[in-house]
A and B are shown apart, each in its own frame.
Chain A
């Protein structure tokens, strides 16, 4: 079995299994825990829990005025690589074909050149995020191996994807195999490390917002 055959077959299959198991396990073990009821009396103007959660989520996508000077560029950079990753993962024709093979869903693809451009920007943006983590004393202090590894498994598919696309460094089937193996690593690690925030961020921000609004915090 060649490296590419291994990557396209067993490696992705095992990784998808690990991903599905981990996501189901972590979500259910959290959601099925007993929820403590908030016994405080809600402020009269407090919105419904759903509205509070949604509003709070949107609100926190942008830094509040007092933090704007310190956090604007960091927030912006975060948006760049998150949106960039989404465009690359869901916009490239080859990726759509992979998803179609799994779920049967399909949508029109973006021009490959555009996706490549976005990939380069995304990789640069991810690099900036890492640099800041290393340079900032506070961030460095609170960073663990989990943070660095999660960064690595996110950046690797982008880097190997760009290499495969541009046929740089090795034969195409080898580059493609690396790309797929890096994707397998990303999938397998995803639910067990900090990348799980992709699911949990909705819960945590929603919870916080509900709590705040109930107590009368304005937004």
Chain B
């Protein structure tokens, strides 16, 4: 494949019709919450566009994000996304390795200076100079800084890259940080999730290519089209929440009847993602539909937020010791106060009696 090919030529060569491209563009427009007319713009944009050079960096991660992208039930979608981009470097997917792979990365950076997009999955280790995660003898920290320097934009794929994720969980032994903490002079788009939804990723890249600008982002730099609503706002079990009908365990009557999973730990009310609408595996299902509460995986620090199976409204700390200590302290201070009052009273009575005696004698 040649970077200088237009996407249209490439698709034509692969037997993808204009009609199929339009259909795909319509789908992406829906995913990105764009008006129907935008589909044509996306189709035209995609057809005209040069294939976007993408450098994919994998840091402290589990490869689940790449799995999510490449193992979707809708293969044409991922085929298309990989046709639209020129994936110049991806450690897991590329054929070459070692020095040749590094050379490919450096070549792509040179040839597309200022125009390439860096996709990162995984968090960045920073403790002790970042030695806890290295590749080809370089720390992730070095590679990220070097690669992002002349990039057009950076896309953090997955909660690890976006917010630190599992490596960042307490006690964070590697000093893991999100990409946005290192790259502060470039637009960074966060597509969080553990893993993120494949369509969220494809839609964002398509948007970037066709419109040449970033989509609308929320306060955590996530595309609003995907992360605008909470799971809870779009959850089909919501009527049960609103009525106060909750499954108390995973195998009780309520669970069998499909009641709300709030009491078994669902974090849907404070989690923003499109799982409840786009769903997974080509729209087959999503965790809540399969009977498990939402873990909140697209939100910062979801590992440390008080336990997956504890209801959202239970306190995240264990205040037993504090409350117990406070009661003991309260009793001590209160008892001391009462004791002093008693002594004062006894003294006053003694004084009175002494005076009375004096008066009599």
Contacts and interface: CB of A to CB of B under 8 A. Distances in A.
Interface in B107-165: none
B341 A111 contact: no
A21 interface: yes
Contacts of A8: 306, 315-317
B335 interface: yes
B304 to A, nearest CB: 9
A126 to B, nearest CB: 23
Q: For chain A, which range describes its interface: under 10, 10 to 19, 20 to 34, or 35 or more residues?
A: 35 or more
A25 B325 CA distance: 12
B33 interface: no
B270 A176 contact: yes
A203 to B, nearest CB: 14
A5 B301 contact: yes
Given A28-B335, A110-B244, A97 B330 contact: no
A169 interface: no
A113 interface: yes
Q: For chain B, which range describes its interface: under 10, 10 to 19, 20 to 34, or 35 or more residues?
A: 35 or more
Interface stretch (A12-20, A47-55, A58-66): A12-20
B330 A22 contact: yes
Nearest to A101: B314
Nearest to B265: A97
A167 B342 CA distance: 54
A92 interface: yes
A13 B317 contact: yes
Contacts of A18: 326
A98 B314 contact: yes
Interface of A: 2, 4-5, 8-10, 12-14, 16-34, 92-95, 97-98, 100-102, 109-113, 115, 167, 172-173, 176
Interface of B: 230, 232-233, 241-244, 246, 262-263, 269-270, 300-301, 305-306, 310-317, 319-320, 322-331, 333-335, 337-339, 341-342, 345
